[in-house]
Amino acid sequence: MPVALVDRLPLPNLKVYTAGSVLLLSVAVFHAVSVTSDPNWRAHTSLQRQKVMAGEGDADVVKVMQEVRTSSLNMSTNGTRNLTEQFVEVMTFMMQEPLCMWTVINIAYCGLALFGFVVQRLVFGRLRVAEAQRVKDKLWNFVFYKFIFVFGVLNVQYMDEVLLWCTWFTLLGFLHLLAQLCKDRFEYLSSSPNTWWWAHARLLGLLCFIQVACCCLLAGAVLAGLPATRDTFAFMAAECALVVVGALHVAARYVLQAASVDAAEPLAYYTHLCFDSVALGVELAHVVHMVVYSNMLVSMASLVLLMQLRHLLHALQARLRRHRLYTALASHMSRNYPMASKEEVEKNQDNCAICWEPMKEARKLPCSHLFHNSCLCQWVQQDASCPTCRRALDAGAGAGAGAGAQGAAAGAGAGALRLLDDGPPPPPPRHPGQLFHFDACAHVAVWGAPPPDAGRRHMESDRLALLYLSRRSRYVSWLPSFSVEVTRVRMEPLAGSQIDAMVRQVQAMFPQYGAGVLAAELAHTRSAALTIDNILEGRLPPPPPPTPAPTPPGLYTPLQQLLTVHSGRSEWSQGESLLKNKTPTCIVFTRMPNV
Amino acid sequence: MAGSALRRLMAEYKQLTINPPEGIIAGPVNEENFFEWEALITGPEGTCFEGGIFPAKLIFPPDYPLSPPKMQFICEMFHPNIYADGRVCISILHAPGDDPMGYESSAERWSPVQSVEKILLSVVSMLAEPNDESGANVDAAKMWREDREQFNKIAEQLVRKTLGLPPP
Ligand SMILES: [Zn+2]
Ligand SMILES: [Zn+2]
């Protein structure tokens, strides 16, 4: 969307920008100084000031003018002019002259950018590529949404108001980006082996700084927003609150990690649940407030707002569903797999087979293998079998016991189905964190147990599709699964040139694949990234025979395409018969949260 | 959670350095990033790959050991169970729900009790005894079945290549 567009803009680097800004400022200051030291100007302004103050008639004007002129002439020639007085004069002149004022604003932004640079150097060092990319995306998204807010929702008319809002959002956005960086960096630090304590200390320091700065902004909101209107104050406060909650969440993770609370434990789970729901709730209220406040007819702004609202509702829904699944899983575990007794744990000399760490308390599976509660909990979401002996865990073991859990899960599953039927799947999670699954698995519906092509179903966006694919293989097989025929949405075929471009793109990475196969695959997936992923995951069969049967894409189901490509090869006959038995349906499974 | 993945990977690395299995060296590419390893596998004795030293890389997911790592040879390979790009096709590297070919029982697939050491040992035994039923490299599978002599010749060339020797 706007991000992609803006990304291509050539932005000057910080050095050039700073140099340019300083140059502009010095030109402006020089101009201001030269103008203000001109006696005529001084006389003129003083005159105006006096005129305004006194409001006198024209009779005295000439006299006053002459007085002022002589006095200023005296002052400048004598060189006794006060420095501060001159400074004040220069400043007032610059504030009145629009061009000069813009240079001052520009230098303020430049200063902020420099400050940001210093903070980045001090706290983060060199940014990793992913972090830089995330910050960039976040920045442009922020600018886009705030633009909509200022001009679409508030409908600001006057320049000074625009400037005030710009200042506000600049500071806020700055803190927002810092909070985002902290979050990314925390996740990185928690997954790298030897991090120094000062890396953590600096990060925590920055988090504190963000909190304090947010409080200052909030105070500003109270001072500036409350006298204006209550709505303005609410808007400002909500924005502050979002940043504070985000920063507090990262801090809370620090605390949890320091106390070595495992992510699957209830304490950690409920902490995350709390923060997630508060953040979502505040944001939802904020957007609803905007919609109500602006009270507008169909316009671009309302469209964007409604889209955001829908996104937030989906996210909230997904979060609640995950919570239901979590409770279902927890109750299932506690009912069917009892905690091992003290003697059993003591008798068992081995470490937990999942994390290789010693066990103080453990859960016991029917096959009498012991695991940590949290380790087992996470594994069972993926595969309902004992990790050690691979014995299947029977869901029906405690007939009545499992029923409740299954009922809840079934309800959630039905919800997932409904989502899929309704149209596009829910939008990507707000924080696609790789390390904390609490962030990563807002999606409950996954494409499960695919026939070879199921993963290659076209999706609305690459990122979404990739997200689904990456989660494809996890499901809880002891929960009821749903097998549904998904009616295929006919999409407009891509233009030949588009496909050709993508084929070249993919071939640059995988020269061993022929253009024909890739074209067929791309016509199907409609995205180079998805195709590459398919190749990497091994879903696209290895390079085809030199003369693949030319099949017009679209006429065949992907499965048939796959078979056509390989027809005439005896080696594939076995696979072919296997494939033929599978109808190209899409199976939707419910997936437990990755706790 | 990445923290537990990291602890487990460190434990495995420690074990592999203290008590290395024969013919296998493995460890993180750099100590900053424990989620990317490099391994050197020597070709098993008495097979056509004998004497070769084959480098491979392993990429671990953040939720390791719940999900299996990905393994890929970074030298040229010609083997029924290794794709042209070097990816290894063995059942213990497939996630439990994931069954690309449709004929593996779940007991053969990934489970957290597996480890880097077990994966590498399976790869060694795969080098020794290819499974020509799962055709990651169809040409190699066919040649292995029908023209063993030619297969051995190609394998020997690959071995020489990994050692930096000129072809015979
Ligand atoms: Zn454990
Ligand atoms: Zn067992």
pLDDT along chain A (595 residues), means of 10: 51 82 89 80 67 53 55 51 78 82 88 90 86 89 88 81 88 92 86 76 91 91 84 90 93 84 78 93 91 72 85 93 87 84 80 87 86 85 83 54 38 33 35 29 31 34 34 32 28 55 66 66 67 64 44 36 32 35 31 34
Q: Could you tell me the sign of the dihedral formed by the alpha carbons of B30, B31, B35, B40, in that order?
A: positive
Residues of B in contact with A268 (CB under 8 A): none
SS3 A364: strand
Tell me if A257 and B3 make a contact (CB, 8 A cut-off).
yes
CA distance A22 to A32: 15
Residues of B in contact with A357 (CB under 8 A): 7, 11
Residues of B in contact with A379 (CB under 8 A): 66, 112
Taking a 5 Å cut-off on Cβ, the residues next to ion ligand 2 are: A 367, 369, 386, 388-389
DSSP H or E run through A54: helix A39-54
Each as own residue / partner, the long-range contacts of residues A7-12 (CB below 8 Å, 24 or more positions apart, any chain) are: A7/A136, A7/A140
Tell me if B32 and A354 make a contact (CB, 8 A cut-off).
no
Beta-bridged to residue A363, according to DSSP, are: A339, A371
Question: Position A486: which residue type?
Answer: V
Runs of H (alpha helix) within A97-225: 98-119, 129-147, 159-190, 197-220
| pLDDT at site A462 | 35
Question: Searching chain B, which residue's CA lies closest to the CA of residue A448?
Answer: B97
Question: Searching chain A, which residue's CA lies closest to the CA of residue B11?
Answer: A356
Taking the centre of ligand 1 as the mean of its atom positions, its distance from the CA of residue A389, in whole angstroms, is: 16
Question: What phi and psi, each to the nearest 5 degrees, are found at residue A431?
Answer: -120, 90
Give me the mean pLDDT over the B96-123 stretch: 77
CA distance B90 to B94: 7
Question: Position B98: which residue type?
Answer: D
Question: Searching chain A, which residue's CA lies closest to the CA of residue B110?
Answer: A387
**What would the two tokens of residue A111 be?**
């200063």
Closest-CA distance of chain B to residue A588, Å? 13
Taking each helix axis from N to C end, the angle separating B138-146 and B148-162, rounded to the nearest 10 degrees, works out to 120
Taking the centre of ligand 2 as the mean of its atom positions, its distance from the CA of residue A239, in whole angstroms, is: 51
CA distance A425 to A467: 11
Tell me if B97 and A378 make a contact (CB, 8 A cut-off).
no
Tell me if B63 and A379 make a contact (CB, 8 A cut-off).
no
Helix, strand, coil content of chain A in percent (nearest 5) = 70, 5, 30
Question: Of the candidates B76, B120, B63, which has an alpha carbon nearest to the alpha carbon of residue A436?
Answer: B63
Q: A577: which DSSP letter? A: H
Dihedral, CA atoms, A371, A375, A377, A382, nearest 10 degrees?
-110
| pLDDT at site B86 | 92
Residues 6 or more apart whose CB falls under 8 angstroms from that of A437 comprise A263, A593, A594, A595, B1, B63
Residues of B in contact with A390 (CB under 8 A): 106-107, 111
Of B1, B32, B113, the CB nearest to A436: B1
- Reported confidence tier of residue B163, pLDDT bands at 50, 70, 90: confident
| pLDDT at site A481 | 28
Question: Of the candidates A436, A349, A413, which has an alpha carbon nearest to the alpha carbon of residue A592?
Answer: A413
Residues 6 or more apart whose CB falls under 8 angstroms from that of A186 comprise A203, A250, A253, A254
Question: Of the candidates A465, A473, A428, A509, which has an alpha carbon nearest to the alpha carbon of residue A594?
Answer: A473
Closest-CA distance of chain A to residue B159, Å? 23
Choose from B90, B98, B105, B117 for mutation: most chain A CBs within 10 A: B98
Taking the centre of ligand 1 as the mean of its atom positions, its distance from the CA of residue A583, in whole angstroms, is: 39
Tokens 């979050």 — which residue? A183
| pLDDT at site A533 | 65
Which ligand gives the minimal distance to the CA of A262?
1
Tokens 């008590």 — which residue? B19
Tell me if A192 and B135 make a contact (CB, 8 A cut-off).
no
Q: B70-103, pLDDT tens digit by residue?
A: 999 999 999 999 999 999 988 889 887 655 555 5
Question: What phi and psi, each to the nearest 5 degrees, are found at residue A282?
Answer: -60, -45
DSSP H or E run through A587: strand A586-590
Taking the centre of ligand 1 as the mean of its atom positions, its distance from the CA of residue A352, in whole angstroms, is: 5
Of A187, A356, A578, the CB nearest to B8: A356
What average pLDDT does the structure give for chain B?
87
| pLDDT at site A513 | 67
Taking a 5 Å cut-off on Cβ, the residues next to ion ligand 1 are: A 352, 354-355, 372, 375
Tell me if A191 and B6 make a contact (CB, 8 A cut-off).
yes
Question: Position A578: which residue type?
Answer: L
Higher pLDDT, A342 or B123: B123
CA distance A477 to B139: 36
Tokens 């008798």 — which residue? A347
CA distance A106 to A296: 33
Tell me if A390 and B106 make a contact (CB, 8 A cut-off).
yes
| pLDDT at site A209 | 93
Question: Searching chain A, which residue's CA lies closest to the CA of residue B134?
Answer: A575
**What would the two tokens of residue A532 be?**
């590459």
| pLDDT at site A344 | 80
Closest-CA distance of chain B to residue A190, Å? 6
Which ligand gives the minimal distance to the CA of A369?
2
Which ligand gives the minimal distance to the CA of B66?
1
Q: Which residues of B are catalytic?
A: 89
Each as own residue / partner, the long-range contacts of residues B103-108 (CB below 8 Å, 24 or more positions apart, any chain) are: B103/A578, B103/B133, B106/A383, B106/A385, B106/A390, B107/A390
Taking the centre of ligand 2 as the mean of its atom positions, its distance from the CA of residue A347, in whole angstroms, is: 16
| pLDDT at site A532 | 67
SS3 A392: strand
The overall pTM is greater than 0.80: no
DSSP H or E run through A254: helix A230-258
Question: What phi and psi, each to the nearest 5 degrees, are found at residue A507?
Answer: -65, -30
Beta strands in chain B (DSSP E): 24-30, 33-42, 53-59, 70-73
